[in-house]
Copies of this chain bind each other. A is one copy, B any other.
Amino acid sequence: MSELNVLEAIRQGIDEMMAADERVFVFGEDVGKRGGVFRVTEGLLDKYGPLRIIDAPLAESVIVGACIGAAMNDTLPIAEIQFADFIAPAFNQIVQEAARIRYRSNGDWNVPMVIRAPYGGGIHGALYHSQSIEATFAHIPGLKVVAPSTPYDAKGLIKSAVEDADPVLFLEHKKTYRLIKGSVPASDYRVPIGLADVKRSGSDLSVFTYGLMLHYCLEAAQTLERAGTSVEVVDLRSLRPLDTATILDSVRKTGKALIVHEDNLTGGFGGEVAALIAEHVFEYLDGPITRLGAPDVPAMPYAKPLEDAFMLNPLKIATAMRTLAAY
């Protein structure tokens, strides 16, 4: 057991996978000497050399595209996208290629690769260093999308992602990198892709969330507890595949659902969760399925008052919890 932050946990996970399997390599901008702009790969160049920690040209489409090719030639690539916002030029390679290769070849070819992307805001990153991208990619069959929130989950999931036989988009919330700490076992464990985790059990109301918002929801839930409201907080962790069973079970128990994400509300991933609940456990519902997300503006502004207005926080979340609980 050691106490790590999210960033260290991811680094450790990558390091251990690279030590265990020489097919694993990292390809991305500034991942070498610089150790990545967030320092996730710091120290790995010295350990594994320039054939396995490779500074890529400034070209996201070929970062992903080359990793797809490499994955088809018996290696296990980890592509790093410097900021999730900059995954956009690689959209074609991810969606039309990585995600469809197994299907289109009728199972003949597959693409075991990981795409790591630091996402999310509240870090004064403005429009292009703060974006949430999960809704776009969680819609894509053939792709897996995970978004861990704790060091334990982050390490366990990055290892599962590297081992997965299919492309996994691994979303790392930048604000959790150094903020969120937790104990991580020394043993070689995995967190399986596709399972949600009830991070807090409760009976009055279910909250579904992931990423930084998980921590805000837990904080808000604690506030409500003091007022006697018992909130269940489900960390989705894996958005595709989605753990529908855990979601529906929780609503069957509490009868109320609040979905919280940092991304813009309209067309966000919360719509999917809401729709599943509205269709499959309709009879259990004791209140309107409520979504909380960012306002529908193109992205998070830089100026602090605007960023604060854009971001959810424990207070705003607690208010929504209270309203729903009181319904």
In the complex, whether A128 has a CB less than 8 A from a CB of chain B is yes
The answer on a CB contact under 8 Å between B279 and A291 is: yes
In the complex, whether A280 has a CB less than 8 A from a CB of chain B is yes
In the complex, whether A319 has a CB less than 8 A from a CB of chain B is no
In the complex, whether A92 has a CB less than 8 A from a CB of chain B is yes
Q: Specify which chain B residues have a CB less than 8 angstroms from the CB of A128 in the assembled complex.
A: 96
User: What's the minimum C-beta distance from A305 to chain B, rounded to whole angstroms?
Assistant: 14
A106-129, CB < 8 A from B:
127-128
A264-285, CB < 8 A from B:
264, 266-272, 274-275, 277-280, 282-283, 285
The answer on a CB contact under 8 Å between B141 and A297 is: yes
In the complex, whether A296 has a CB less than 8 A from a CB of chain B is yes
The answer on a CB contact under 8 Å between B290 and A279 is: yes
Interface size on A (CB < 8 Å)? 49
In the complex, whether A163 has a CB less than 8 A from a CB of chain B is no
User: What's the minimum C-beta distance from A56 to chain B, rounded to whole angstroms?
Assistant: 17
From A42-50, A97-105, A188-196, A201-209, the one touching the partner chain is A97-105
From A12-20, A66-74, A83-91, A168-176, the one touching the partner chain is A83-91
Name, among A61, A272, A288, the residue most crowded by chain B CB atoms within 10 Å (CB to CB).
A272
The answer on a CB contact under 8 Å between A266 and B282 is: no
12 additional A-B residue pairs with CB within 8 Å, beyond A88-B92, A267-B269, A279-B289: A88-B95, A103-B299, A104-B298, A141-B296, A266-B272, A270-B275, A274-B278, A275-B275, A275-B278, A278-B278, A280-B288, A282-B289
Residues of chain A at the chain B interface (Cβ within 8 Å): 61, 85, 88-89, 91-92, 95-96, 99-100, 103-104, 127-128, 135-136, 138-142, 240, 242, 264, 266-272, 274-275, 277-280, 282-283, 285, 287-291, 296-299
Q: Could you name 15 residue pairs across A and B whose Cβ atoms are closer than 8 Å?
A: A91-B91, A100-B298, A104-B298, A139-B266, A140-B267, A140-B298, A141-B266, A141-B298, A240-B267, A275-B275, A275-B289, A278-B289, A279-B288, A279-B291, A282-B287
